[in-house]
Structure 1
Amino acid sequence: MQFGGVKQFSKLKDFLPTLNSIFSKARYFGIAGYGFTLSFCWTFILFLMLLAFEACSIWKLIRLLAGWATNLSGGRGIVARVSGSMFYGNALLSLILSSKFVHSWESLSSFWLSTETSEALTFAPDVRIRKRAIFVTSLVATFAFVEHMLSMMSATGFDCPPEEYFERYILSSHGFVLQAHEYNLWVAIPIFILSKLATALWNFQDLIIILISMGLTSRYHRLNLYVHHVVRIEKRYRYTQKVGTELYLRIQKWRRLREAYVRHATLVRMVDRKLGALVLLSNINNLYFICLQLFLGMHKDKGSAINRGYYFLSLGWLLFRACSVVLAAADVHLHSQRALKALYSCPSAAYNVEIKRLQYQLTHDYVALSGMGFFSLRRELLLEVAAAIIKYELVLIQYDS
């Protein structure tokens, strides 16, 4: 997969080439870029499989709600069927939205590159962001793999004979859609593959948000460092009278710096328009499954050691990933206003109209990633969501008692 305008930037070992490589590898679990290629065919096949499975899950849920289902044991209750429908519904939407975002990445990366190369101001690249992006990607992949392997162990236990492992795993983990008398190897194999791909899609949608937020924050961080550098110079020469050409050059530097903030705010809004639906899906899905895990933890027996270990690891990983999404995206808004402190400390002798405009711009121009405009990702959102979850659990405890 090639993205126009980014090859020339790869020598800097910066954010864009690293993200291009990650998006290229995502085609193995269904995230295609653009054009009618082999990866697009695989995406289309996966889409049809997820659509059929989600339709089957919803039909089983409707049968239960209508009172047509009789066997409600073995993970076939309403909680299991709603959760299964949510899980595969998220995978279906994630496949569509992630592919749509990767498809739009060509134009986004070109504009991103232009903000880095078309400015008169020279910023050194963030050489550490490549390592951070690779570390975050490796961390998400490793923990997602470990968590999923533990879920498979929890579903079957250690006393399962090898020849019965596959059947027990499918009937235990997908009892909401498949009963024992309906089990067939040719049905179980596609379900097994879909469950792995759906897990990968769930983790990848959060990874996209985290990585994009890291890149946007890095750019703001470099701009803010430049502001601090210029302010230090202004303080150093605050008693030196500047007239004529020197004064003009100082004002022009501040003007170019202000325009750099304008261009980056434009980039953030462009990314927000393309990423907003995925942000909304990620936060809704994570919130639902956090509440579900807490609910199940309150109403389940102690179980075996592997079940208890899986529960705490799964809940911890889900909380960590959900918090990482919010905190990484919230850093974009936080860093968009961080230069104000340096600007307010600028000596009055160096104050000019461009500094005044930049202060006004950073104060009143609200820049943040959002979930399609329904909410902005700020650090305060974590406390609001935590309060909502606690209220939800207290209500459940009250009704349960």
Structure 2
Amino acid sequence: FKWKSFRVFYTIVCIAGACFNIATSILLLKSQGVIYERVDKVVFYGTSAIVYFKFLMIAKKWPILGKEWENVEQSQKHYGYPKKLCIKINIITTIILFGAFVEHGLAHINILKWAGCCQGDNLSVLKQYFTNVHSQLFNIIPYNMPLAFINAFLNITATFSWNFTDLFIILLSLSIAARFQLLNLNLKSIKGKVQHENFWKQIREEYNSLSELTKMVNSCITLTVLISYSNNLYFICRQLLSSLLPLGNTTETIYFYWSFGFVLFRTIMVSLFAANINDESQYAKEVIYSIPSENYGTEVSFPFYNIILKNVIRLLQQITTDDVVLTGMNFFSVTRTLLLT
């Protein structure tokens, strides 16, 4: 990570652009009154500014996190690499970004159709379009084309950041859960069998390293998780409110259902993939409960019994008392029950 780099400069420009749009959106609320469409702009650009800043902070920590992740993979390389993980990542990324592209396209096609239908003034369709999309900007600044295109670019990057936040959480969760799955595959193969004390010592150490990796990841993205859920929940409620109003043309109807379905889809995907970390981390308990009595000293010497029992109990205590889970700033933990609450 280097502060003097194009990527950092680009991020700072995006933060400045988002903050400028927040200020103009607040001024629009003050001058023309509070309605949901205007509040949406404040929430949208406000969330984007926080996301930009947070990812800049994550970038500072990323080399340390990457090194720790590499150390875990090297220490567990005897398990191999998670099967088809790269394919899964590519498929999920394609689905999320394609859905975001369609949603963004439908929204602007709908506005372009509205602009083309406007009559009774001398404004061009393009000017009508830009003054509608960036109403907060041209409420305080006279319309000009270069500024309109610059703000359109800022709008696209803000839209991407919103979708990328969910995608980022999904892919990190998928990768962590995949490491736990490799450990669990090893445990499945010995379920109900007698094992030497070195085996349980190794399993405990590997489980602990994955637990520590999860906590490190969570410390980096816990605010990002909170932002993701807060933003998605706001727009789900916003879309539910919009459903009470009559829909206009076909394009508007398609956009509404696609947008509503897509934000629900992303929220569910984030919840399920993040919750899968906790699910996979709990599997070892099932194996420990199925340990034969021989492993507890029925047919072995007392010192051997003590060593095995110590490692097994320590592992079981860690699994049952240590929450291996992603959180939203510790306000909530992402488990499967979160979807129902």
TM-score relative to the length of structure 1: 0.76
Structure 1 counterpart of 2:187: 227
The residue type paired with residue 191 of structure 1 is: N
- Give the structure 2 partner of residue 348 of structure 1: 293
Question: What is the letter of the counterpart of residue 45 of structure 1?
Answer: V
2:166 maps to: 206
Aligned length: 324
My pick for the range that moved more, 288-297 or 351-360, is 351-360
Report the counterpart of residue 368 of structure 1 in structure 2. Answer: 325
Give 1:138's aligned residue.
94
Of 121, 138, 142, 1:178 maps to 138
What residue in structure 1 maps to residue 280 of structure 2? 335
> Which secondary structure does the structure 2 equivalent of 1:216 belong to?
helix
Match for residue 24 of structure 1?
none
Identity percentage over the alignment? 30
Pick one of 219, 234, 250 that aligns with 1:305. Answer: 250
Q: CA deviation at 1:173?
A: 2.6
Q: Which one of 92, 111, 126 corresponds to residue 155 of structure 1?
A: 111
Deviation at 1:46, TM superposition (A): 1.9
Where 1:301 maps in the other structure, the secondary structure is coil
- Partner of residue 275, structure 1: 221
CA apart distance, 1:171: 2.5
The structural deviation recorded for 1:187 is: 2.8
- Mapped to 2, the partners of 1:41 and 1:349 lie a distance apart of 63
Question: Which residue number in structure 2 is paired with residue 263 of structure 1?
Answer: 209
Please show how residues 215-254 of structure 1 align to structure 2 within 5 Å: 215-231=175-191, 234=193, 250-254=196-200
Q: Aligned partner of 1:188: which letter? A: A
User: Which whole-Å deviations, capped at 9, do the CAs of 1:352-376 have from their partners, x for residues lacking one?
Assistant: 3122322222122211100111111
Pair 1:252–1:177, CA change in 2 (3 A): same
Contact 1:329–1:378 (CA under 8 A) maintained in structure 2: yes
CA distance in 1, matches of 2:141, 2:172: 47
- Deviation (angstroms), 1:159: 7.7
The CA deviation at 1:231 is 2.5
- Report what 2:126 is aligned to: 166
Q: CA RMSD in A?
A: 2.1
C-alpha distance in 2, partners of 1:376/1:86?
Answer: 24
Structure 1 residue ranges (4+ consecutive) displaced by more than 6 angstroms after TM superposition: none
Alignment check: 8 A CA contact 1:47 1:95 kept: yes
CA pair 277-34 structure 1, distance change in 2 beyond 3 A: farther
The reply on whether 1:89 has 2:46 as its aligned counterpart is yes
Provide the rounded CA distance (Å) in 1 between the counterparts of 2:323 and 2:114: 54
**Distance between the aligned counterparts of 2:255 and 2:128, measured in 1?**
18
Q: Which secondary structure state, in structure 1, belongs to the residue aligned with residue 20 of structure 2?
A: helix
Report the counterpart of residue 237 of structure 2 in structure 1: 291
Match of 1:39 in 2: 7
Post-superposition Cα deviations, 1:116-162, rounded to whole Å, max 9, x if no partner, equal 2135x72121131111111111111111111110111111227828x
Alpha-carbon distance in structure 2 between the residues aligned to 1:167 and 1:196: 18
1:123 aligns with 2:91: no
Tell me which moved more, 258-267 or 35-44. 35-44
Contact persistence 1:210–1:324 (CA under 8 A): yes
Alignment gaps of 5+ in structure 1: 1-32, 239-246, 385-401
**Distance change >3 Å, CA 80–CA 363, structure 1 → 2:** same
Gaps of 5+ in 2: 118-122, 297-307
Distance 1:180 1:165 in 2: 21
The answer to whether the 8 A contact 1:205-1:278 is kept is yes
In 2, Cα distance between equivalents of 1:256 and 1:123:
13
User: Which position in structure 2 is the counterpart of 1:3?
Assistant: none
Query: CA separation in 2, counterparts of 1:360 and 1:156?
Result: 60
**Per the alignment, do residues 212 and 286 of structure 1 end up closer, same or farther by CA in structure 2, a change over 3 Å counting?**
same
Contact 1:80 1:176 in 2 (8 A): no
Determine whether 1:190 maps to 2:142. Answer: no
Partner of 1:317: 262
Q: Deviations over 1:218-247 (max 9, x none)?
A: 011111111112335x2xxx5xxxxxxxx8
| 2:11 is aligned with 1:51 | no
TM superposition shift of 1:177: 4.5
Q: Show the counterpart of 2:334.
A: 377
Residue type at the aligned position of 2:180: Y
1:110 aligns with 67
Asked whether the equivalents of residues 98 and 205 of structure 1 are also in contact (C-alpha less than 8 Å), the reply is: no
TM score, norm. by length of structure 2: 0.89
| CA distance 1:344–1:188, shift in 2 (3 Å) | same
Aligned with 1:373: secondary structure? coil
Q: What SS does the aligned partner of 1:339 have? A: helix
CA-CA distance at 1:312 after TM superposition: 0.1
Mapped partners of 2:219, 2:139: distance in 1: 43
Q: Which piece of structure 1 moves more, 81-90 or 167-176?
A: 167-176
Higher RCO, 1 vs 2 (CA within 8 Å, ≥6 residues apart): 2
Q: How far, CA to CA, are the matches of 1:296 and 1:176 in structure 2? A: 21
CA contact (8 A) 2:51 2:165 kept: yes
The residue type paired with residue 164 of structure 2 is F
